[in-house]
A and B are shown apart, each in its own frame.
Chain A
C-alpha cells in the first residue's frame, strides 16, 4: 500500500458507488436519487481511470468520456421528466408516484 496503485482507485470507486447505492435505496426525493445515480456513474469512472492509469491504456479514459456524455444525456432527459412530473403530479416524492403499477 505504499505506492499508489489501481487498488486505491478501486476502493474509492467501491466506496463512492455503495454510498450512491445506499442513497438510491433510502432517499425519497427524486432529485436526490438522481444525484445518487450520478454519484454511482462517477464511481464507475474512477475505477475506469484507475485501470487506465495502471495499465497505460487510454481505453479506460475513452470509456469514462462516454460515461460522462451519457450521464449528461441522462441528466437532461431525467430532469425533463422531473419537470413534467411536477407539472402533472406536483410532487417529487417517489413514494407518491405509483403509476408504474398500472
Chain B
C-alpha cells in the first residue's frame, strides 16, 4: 500500500531553513538568538515525524512524496523522492527526537560560545542531511546525503577549529570516512552498471538475476561504506578522535544518528546482503570483533568521552553482528535503544564536563555524586542500560542479538558477544565509579560542581526515561511491538524459531555476565579489593595493547601516513622544485637575459610610446595605400 502525501517534505525542510537562516544572518543579526530558530525547526520536524510514524505504523502503508527529477541523462534517471516505510519512520523518530533533545541541551551547553550561531547553523544542517538520507528512495540520493552528513560531522568535529587537535580530528574523520565512501561509491557504480537502476525497489526486485559473485562484490563494497561510517573494525579510529567536537555533537552525530547510518544502510539493502551468504558472514565477523576489541579498549581509557566513544564503537559492532547473522529486527531494535542510552551517556558526560570546567580525565574527578545527584542518577541509568542490566533498554536488545547469533548459526560469535558484554559492564561501571563515587580527586575549593541548568537537565531526564523504558518495545522477545512494526520491511528475511528455553537461558547468561562485570568494577574502584594497577601489571602486553587502541593508529601512521608523507615530500623536493621549477625558472632566466638587452628601448616616457604608436599607424596606412589598395594603380 502506498500513499502520496505532500507534507513529508516538512521534515527535512524545516531544519534546512533554520540552517540557511542562521548561516546567512547569524553572524551579524541573530547571534545569541540562534536557538530560537533552530530548536523550533527541529521540533516541527520531530512532530511531523511523529505524524508520519503514526500514519505508517497504524495504517500499514508507505508514504511517498515526489519532489523533482535531479538527473535526467539517457537511461540514467534520478528522481528525488521522499519515501517513508516502517524502517524509515523508526529511524526518523530516533533522528529527529534525539536531535530535538540535543538541540535543547545545546542551548545551555554552548551558551557562552562565540560560534553560537555557527553551531546552530550546522546542527540543523546535519539534521536535514540525516533525514534526507533516511527518506531517500534510491542509492544515489542516499550516497549524496551520506556524504552530506559526513561533511556536517567534519564541520562539527572541527567546530573549535582554532584548537589544533580539533582540526586534526576533523581531518582524520574526513579522510578515514573517504576510504569507506570510496568503496561505497564503487558499490553503487557496480550496482548501476549491472542493473541500470538505483531505485531501491527496482534493485531489490532485480537482485536474483545477478550472479552470486557480483552480488557478493556489491554487498561487500556497500559494507565498506558502512565500515567507515559506522566505525567498524579496521576503520573505527576516527570515532574516538571525533570527541574533539562539542559534546552535544558527540551525542547526536557520533552516538545516536550518523554512525548508525551504516547499520541503517545495510538493513535497508538487506535483500542484497541476503543474496550473498559470504557477505553476511563477513559482516557478522567484523561486527563481533569490533564489539570485542572496542570493549577491551574502553576498559583502559581514562578520558570519560573516549570511554563512551569506544563503547559506541562496541555497540555498533553488536548491531553489525546482528545484521550479519540475519537478526535484522534486533539490529534495528538495538539501534533504537542505543540511541537513547548513548545520547544520554554523552550528554551526561557533557554535564560533568560543564561542571568541571572542561575537565575530561576521570582520574581528576570522583565523588561527584554528592554535588550532581541528577546527573549521577541519569548517568547510572544510561550506564546500566548500556551494560545490559535488567530491565533497562540495553538488556532486551542486546539479549536478542545474542539469541539471534546463537540460532543464526554462529554460536561462537554469540560467545564473543557475551565476553564483550562482560567488558561492557566493566568499563561502564568503571566510568560511573571513577566519576561519581569515592573521594574527590580535585580541589573542591576551586571547582564547585553543580547540576546543569534546566535546558540541559530536561533532555537528560527525558533520555533517561527513554533509556529505561524503550526496551519494553521489544517485550516479549521476538513478538514485541517493534517486531510487529518492522515485520513488513523484513518479510523476505528468514525467520528462526527461537525456543523459550534458549531465550531464558541467554537472558540469564548475559545478566550473570553483566553482573560479573559490575561486581568486578565495584571491587576494583569502590571497595579496592582488586587493584587495577596490579591487574594491568600482570596482564602487561595485553593491557598495553588495549590501552593503545590495539595499535591501529600506530599501524596506520607507519604503514599509510608516513609512506604517503615521504612520497609527497619526494615529489615536492625532487619533482616539483627540481624538475618543474627548474624548467620554469630556466626559461624565465633566458627571457630575463634577452629582456636585459631589450630594456634600453623602454624609456618610461609615455610620449615616446605614443610616438611609436603614431609612427606605426602612419606606416601601416601608407603600406596599405601603396600595396593593398588600387590608389596608385
Binding site for B on A (CB under 8 A): 21, 24-25, 28, 33, 94-95, 97-102
Contact = CB atoms under 8 A, between A and B. Distances in A.
Contact of B605 (A21, A33, A94): A94
Contacts of A98: 603-605
Nearest to B617: A21
6 contacts: A21-B614, A25-B614, A94-B606, A95-B605, A100-B606, A102-B604
B617 to A, nearest CB: 8
A18 B607 CA distance: 16
B69 interface: no
Chain B's interface size range is 10 to 19
A95 B607 contact: yes
B1 interface: no
B501 interface: no
Contacts of A101: 602-604
Contacts of B606: 33, 94, 97, 100
Contacts of A102: 604
Contact of A25 (B603, B604, B611): B611
A101 B478 CA distance: 89
A94 B610 CA distance: 12
Contacts of B610: 24-25
Contacts, number: 28
B614 to A, nearest CB: 6
A25 B607 CA distance: 6
Nearest to B606: A94
Main secondary structure of the interface of B (DSSP, over half): helix
B602 A94 contact: no
Contacts of A21: 614
A99 B604 contact: yes
Nearest to A96: B605
Nearest to A100: B604
A33 B613 CA distance: 15
A12 B231 CA distance: 83
Interface in B574-633: 602-607, 609-611, 614
Shortest 8 CB-CB contacts between residues of A and residues of B:
A101-B604, A98-B604, A100-B604, A94-B606, A24-B610, A101-B602, A25-B611, A25-B610
Main secondary structure of the interface of A (DSSP, over half): helix
Nearest to B615: A25
B607 A28 contact: yes
A102 B602 CA distance: 9
Contacts of A24: 610, 614
Given A21-B614, A25-B614, A100 B602 contact: yes
Contacts of B602: 100-101
A13 to B, nearest CB: 14
A22 to B, nearest CB: 9
Given A21-B614, A25-B614, A94 B607 contact: yes
A32 B602 CA distance: 24
A28 B606 CA distance: 10
A95 B606 CA distance: 8
A99 B614 CA distance: 22
A28 B607 CA distance: 8
A25 B614 CA distance: 8
A93 to B, nearest CB: 10
A98 B611 CA distance: 16
A21 B605 CA distance: 16
A65 B605 CA distance: 32
A33 B603 CA distance: 19
Nearest to A30: B606
Nearest to B607: A94
Nearest to B618: A21
A102 B607 CA distance: 16
A100 B609 CA distance: 11
Contacts of A28: 607
Contacts of A97: 604, 606
A21 B614 CA distance: 8
A66 to B, nearest CB: 22
B213 to A, nearest CB: 68
Nearest to B599: A101
Most buried by B among A28, A98, A99: A98
Contacts of B611: 25
Contacts of B609: 100
A13 B604 CA distance: 31
Nearest to A99: B604
A47 to B, nearest CB: 14
Given A25-B611, A101-B604, 11 more contacts: A21-B614, A24-B614, A94-B606, A95-B607, A97-B604, A98-B603, A98-B605, A99-B604, A100-B604, A101-B603, A102-B604
A44 to B, nearest CB: 13
Contacts of A95: 605, 607
A94 B606 CA distance: 7
A99 B605 CA distance: 9
Contacts of A25: 607, 610-611, 614
A1 to B, nearest CB: 19
A88 to B, nearest CB: 16
B243 to A, nearest CB: 55
A40 B322 CA distance: 85
Interface string B296-323: 0000000000000000000000000000
Contacts of B607: 25, 28, 94-95
A11 to B, nearest CB: 15
A98 B608 CA distance: 11
Nearest to B609: A100
Contacts of B603: 98, 101
A98 to B, nearest CB: 3
